[in-house]
Amino acid sequence: MVKHAAPEGEESDPIRARSGLVRGRGLSKTYRRGAEQVHALRAVDIDVHPGELVALAGPSGSGKSTLLNVLCGWETPESGSLAYSGALAGRDAIDLEWAQLALVPQALGLLEDLTVEENIMMPARIVGKVKSERDRGHELMDRFKIAHLGRRYPRQTSLGEQQRCCVARAMLLRPALMLADEPTAHQDAALGDVLFETMRDHARAGGGFLIATHNPDTWGHCDRVLSMHDGQLREGAPDIVH
Amino acid sequence: MQTDELAPSSTGRGGGHGGGHGSGGVLNTPPWRRAPLLVARQPPVFLALALAAAVLALAAASGPLFLAATGTAALHISAARSCPEQGEAGLSVAGDAAATQFENLLPTGQLTGTDRIVRSAAARAGLPAPYLTVGTTINLAPSGPNAPRAVDLFSRPGALDHVQKLTPAGRAGVWITDTVASNEGLRPGSTIKTFGGIRLPVAGIFRDLIGRGIDPHLPRYWCSWSTQIAGSGANAAPPFFIADLATLTRSTPYVAPSWFAPIDVGHITVPQARTASVAVASVPPAVTTATGGQVRLFVHPDLGELVRQATLVHSGLRGPIIPIDIAGAIVALLLVGGAAGFWVVRRAPELRLLVSRGVGPVALAIKALLEIAPAVIVGGLAGWGGAIVLVRSIGPSSMFEPGAPVRSLAAAAAACAAGLVLVAVIGAAAAREPRAGRGAVRVLAWLPWELALLAAAFGVYLAVHRHGAVHSVHGTVQVHPTILAFPLLLLAGGVLLLCRLAGLGLPALRRATTPLGIAVYLAVRRITGTAGVAIALAVGTALPCGILVYAAAQTASVDHSVSLKFDTYLGAPHALGTLADPDSTIPLAGHGTQVAVVSTDAFVVGGNQIQMIGVDPATFARFSFSDPQVAAAIRGLTPPVDGGPAPALWVNAHGARAPKGVRYVDDTVRTVHIVGRLDVFPGLRDGYSPMLVVNRRAFLHLSPFVHRDQEVWTTDDQLAAARAALTRHGIAVLFEISPTTFLDHTDLLPVTWIFSYLRVLAVLAGLVAIAGLVFALAARTRRRTSSYVLTARMGIGRGSHRRSIVIELVLVVGFGWLAGAAVALTAAASIYRRFDVNSSFPPPPSLSIPVMTLVASGAGVVVVVLLAAAVTQWLADRADPSEVMRLE
Ligand SMILES: Nc1ncnc2c1ncn2[C@@H]1O[C@H](COP(=O)(O)OP(=O)(O)O)[C@@H](O)[C@H]1O
Ligand SMILES: [Mg+2]
């Protein structure tokens, strides 16, 4: 296969490199499991640029989640450097606000006692923007086909609906960078497309996305595919790597 | 608590993926072989189960132990309030053939022989060797105008060790008081001559036991002989001398001997005391037989009376304590159920696997039993031991009746068996499809069970109103179990109803708090989102707080009512009975008020006996327990004018017609004019008959046959000055009035103990509730790690998080506290009137609000909230956010 070209002719590569959102170099992470050592990340170099939708592919256990954890500051790498630049310049990952770095973890982390709508509006509520972002919230719910679930509790919805709720929550404040771990794992093809199209729309406005997904159907929505294997990151889809 | 959707954290961690499924090897051995090993592998589960079982056993075992301690404690308390000899097995010579208590004399010549016979009979009955006391009154030969005509001679081994000897000991003879010695010029070596001409040598001089004749404060040793020493009422006693037995027997042909087997009832149990009181009954027949019917003894009734009273206290407690005990055990069973639920959660993967392989509920129940039984047995034994230590240290007495530990062990074992049945049921339920029960649970929760509880409470309320809450058996107050059943039912029903009503308001609360700060917003949503948990927490707070408040309210009300009754009886902080002349005015110089009391010698004209008191309106209100109403009423009590009617107050009449006049015992009739009516008046000494209050001058010039005691009433700070004034004018104080004649504190022991026990139950329930609260919060926090981590990421700081937990708990627990306190006070307010420990004596009970308990329980609630919030925050902070990115 060919390397994914930048679609719809946006900025050229050099500009992107200069104004990248996040740049990691030589990131390594090792877990100790008894006597055994698990090299979850081996000298990973990664860049995500504004306006870019990047897929992070790779088999289960290859280190995708570990990389996302390192990028959002929940885990510290043993070696290597991590720097946010552009809109997020000079900040530690852990200090970034939701509008700058939004997350869709695999565990979702919806608040059980809040309705679907309240969960989606939560980031706006915390920063006091419920009123101004209400339309945005409704629009996302409409697009994600969960508008009718607004008053239900997460436990009263399906896993796929909860996942869409979680993505909507992450996108509500139009984050500069969004890290998502398998956000379409429980979606059918059509809904997966809706999710990626919505992300694409936001990427057009300058947002950057790094999305761990091992579903090849979704790669087509992305500007680039990175593949992870045994802690090593390569440019390109896994098919090429193998 | 919702446990079924809990993902056991043990599967995700450590064991890698699917850890629960990897233990297939263990699953292949039969459950009964593996069971004891498995629970030991999970210390937290073992600990939780053992602790729950310990609390259960403690609750169940403490009842029998507590009961066993109360009888003994009552015995010891009564013994401490009696003269020492009343707690011993006492025998005296009977005055009639029926050997009743009519005391008589023994020819002196028979004393030695009888003593020998009594000693051997007592030894045969298993009693400790008795000591002999002998008393006799001897008439003296006239020696001077003021010399005593008679003296009391007393002999008891060691008696001289209990007086202050003013001359050296050594010689045999009579020890005389310093008063007589100085008045008569006697000294050691002098002789006293009896009327019969016998000369008794004076052996020594001791300080007179009653000082200078005013208000004796005798050492306890002399308690039983206080009448001989101090006299009683207006009768002064002859001088009290001490002699050795030989001198005494030489002085008189007849003596009054008593034998006391020193069993020291203050330090033995009720059954031991009962045994002794039965044993001593065998002595008089033995003595009668051995003396050929010449000497008959009777057994002093005091020991039997003490035993009977202790038994009454004990039996009066059984009714209320057993239900409290069972209620406590039920609360503790909840804890065991919770711990078993914890076991199910921790075992979830294995249980799921077993269920999927077709293992049925019975097998799972057996598995649960086998796994859990060791922990329950260990905990149960520890709890039983704990109960023994607890009741020993904070119970009414540290001495148990024999057999009580075994009985309490049986109770603990029964409770633990019930706990194991519950465990088996929970284990079997684990086999059930988790969703299947949900609908049934919802329907059950929707039904208004609390109305049934409230209806039952109303039924009990009616019973209380019909039969009262207490009655008195031989003075000992017996509390009906209804006084406990009513508040418990009302609390449970009322609090649940309040919770349900509050639940109706939750959606509105949710809407109202939408625009508020994030901490309130989250707190309210947590409450409304899982209302079941919130209700459980509120009820868990309300019940212990409510029970505490109710117990405190009833105790405070009883205390207050009793002290009001005491105050009414006494009339003033101190009421001194004097020997002042009836018509004299005692010169008190502003240190007290003089009151004349006619207790038996006045009647309504053509009617029944009444009490009368004559007061001095100028000083009465200042020194007596007078409220403004009384103070106003006595202003109208002017002295009668020239044979006209005396203005009078008609008190405690219970509807009896006010009299026009009073007929005294000597048949003189004086008219009265009723100027006021009162239910209660200070100085009312008899609850059954009405009382007339007149000006003290209305009694002037009555004949000496109308007995009127002159009392001096005064306050604490004026007591010394009042006594000094009396002494200055040579007026003897005979006694200080004490209310024990109509109500003794010992009579109230059942009340005191029942409510103390109820409080301990409340504290136990409170501890269970706190444990449940912390446990529920911990479980919830674990389950919600990911949402906590995410909200932190969105910008909710630790402060806001902690604030929101505090707000949530304050709302839920605070509501529980308020509901509990409100329902408890309602319960107390609706039946305190029927909780009258002596309904024959006014005033009727009044309700006291237990402010201290309200404040203390409120403060306790605040502390628990802060602690629970801190624990929750600590647990949340320990969450590893990197876990969240992967699946939990
Ligand atoms: N906390 C941990 N302790 C030990 N090993 C871990 C831990 N977290 C992840 N691993 C291991 O690191 C490797 C990478 O995991 P992860 O990043 O979750 O993979 P992916 O998301 O690609 O499935 C796996 O082999 C996993 O078992
Ligand atoms: Mg992963």
| Nearest-by-CA chain B residue for A98 | B794
Q: Do A65 and B886 touch (CB under 8 A)?
A: yes
The whole-number pLDDT of residue B438 equals 57
The whole-number pLDDT of residue B439 equals 61
Q: Do A114 and B525 touch (CB under 8 A)?
A: yes
Among B1, B13, B793, B885, the strongest candidate for a mutation testing the A interface, having the largest count of A CBs within 10 A, is B885
Residue B480: enclosing H or E segment and its boundaries? none
| Nearest-by-CA chain A residue for B789 | A109
Q: What is the number of the ligand 1 atom nearest to the C-alpha of A60?
A: 23
User: Which residues in chain B are contacts of A72 at CB distance < 8 A?
Assistant: 793, 885
User: Residue by residue, what is the 3-state secondary structure of B664-720?
Assistant: ECCCCEEEEEEEEEECCCCCCCCCCCCEEEEEHHHHCCCCCCCCCEEEEEECCCCHH
**Touching check for A123 and chain B: CB below 8 Å?**
yes
Among A98, A112, A152, the strongest candidate for a mutation testing the B interface, having the largest count of B CBs within 10 A, is A112
Q: What is the number of the ligand 1 atom nearest to the C-alpha of B886?
A: 18
Which residues crowd ion ligand 2, with CB under 5 Å? Answer: A 65
Q: Is the pLDDT of residue B474 over 90?
A: no
**Touching check for B888 and chain A: CB below 8 Å?**
yes
Position A54 confidence tier, pLDDT thresholds 50, 70, 90: very high
Ligand 1 pocket: which of A36, A44, A66, A68 to mutate (most atoms <8 Å of CB)?
A: A66
**Touching check for A181 and chain B: CB below 8 Å?**
yes
Write the DSSP string, B158-192. TGGGGS-BSS---S-SEEEEHHHHHHHT--TT-EE
The C-alpha of A221 sits at a distance from chain B's nearest C-alpha, in angstroms, of 23
Task: Report ipTM for this prediction.
Answer: 0.90
**Touching check for A111 and chain B: CB below 8 Å?**
yes
In this prediction, residues A185-210 reach a mean pLDDT of 94
Task: Take residue A147 and report the two structure tokens written for it.
Answer: 């508008």
**Touching check for B883 and chain A: CB below 8 Å?**
yes
Lowest-confidence range among A87-91, A233-237, B130-134, B311-315? A87-91
Per-residue pLDDT reduced to its tens digit, B407-427: 999 999 999 999 999 988 888
Cβ–Cβ < 8 Å for B419, B96? no
Per-residue pLDDT reduced to its tens digit, B368-417: 888 889 999 999 999 999 999 988 888 888 888 888 999 999 999 999 99
Q: What is the number of the ligand 1 atom nearest to the C-alpha of A66?
A: 17
Residue of the nearest CA to atom 18 in ligand 1? Answer: A65
pTM for this entry: 0.80
The C-alpha of A242 sits at a distance from chain B's nearest C-alpha, in angstroms, of 25
Position B26 confidence tier, pLDDT thresholds 50, 70, 90: very low
User: Residue by residue, what is the 3-state secondary structure of A104-165?
Assistant: ECCCCCCCCCCCHHHHHHHHHHHCCCHHHHHHHHHHHHHHCCCHHHCCCCHHHCCHHHHHHH
Residue B346 neighbours by CB under 8 Å, 6+ apart: B8, B10, B42, B44, B45
The C-alpha of B540 sits at a distance from chain A's nearest C-alpha, in angstroms, of 22
Partner residue opposite B787 with nearest CB, options A112, A127, A153: A112
How far is ligand 2, taken at its centre, from the CA of residue A61, in Å?
7
Q: Is the pLDDT of residue B166 over 50?
A: yes
Mean pLDDT of chain B: 86
How far is ligand 2, taken at its centre, from the CA of residue B559, in Å?
69
The C-alpha of A99 sits at a distance from chain B's nearest C-alpha, in angstroms, of 9
Per-residue pLDDT reduced to its tens digit, A62-104: 999 999 999 999 999 999 999 888 767 778 888 899 999 999 9
Q: Do A107 and B885 touch (CB under 8 A)?
A: yes
Cis peptide before B323 (omega within 30 of 0): no
Q: Do A126 and B790 touch (CB under 8 A)?
A: no
Ligand 1 pocket, A218 CB below 6 A? no
The whole-number pLDDT of residue B7 equals 37
Write the DSSP string, A85-101. -GGGTT--GGG--TTTE
* CA B832 – CA B838 distance, rounded (Å): 13
**Touching check for A155 and chain B: CB below 8 Å?**
yes
Q: Do A109 and B790 touch (CB under 8 A)?
A: yes
Position B606 confidence tier, pLDDT thresholds 50, 70, 90: confident
Work out the percent of chain A whose per-residue pLDDT is above 90.
76
Residue B361 neighbours by CB under 8 Å, 6+ apart: B427, B428, B429, B431, B432
Write the DSSP string, B595-621. EEEEEEEEEETTS-EEEEEEE-TTTHH
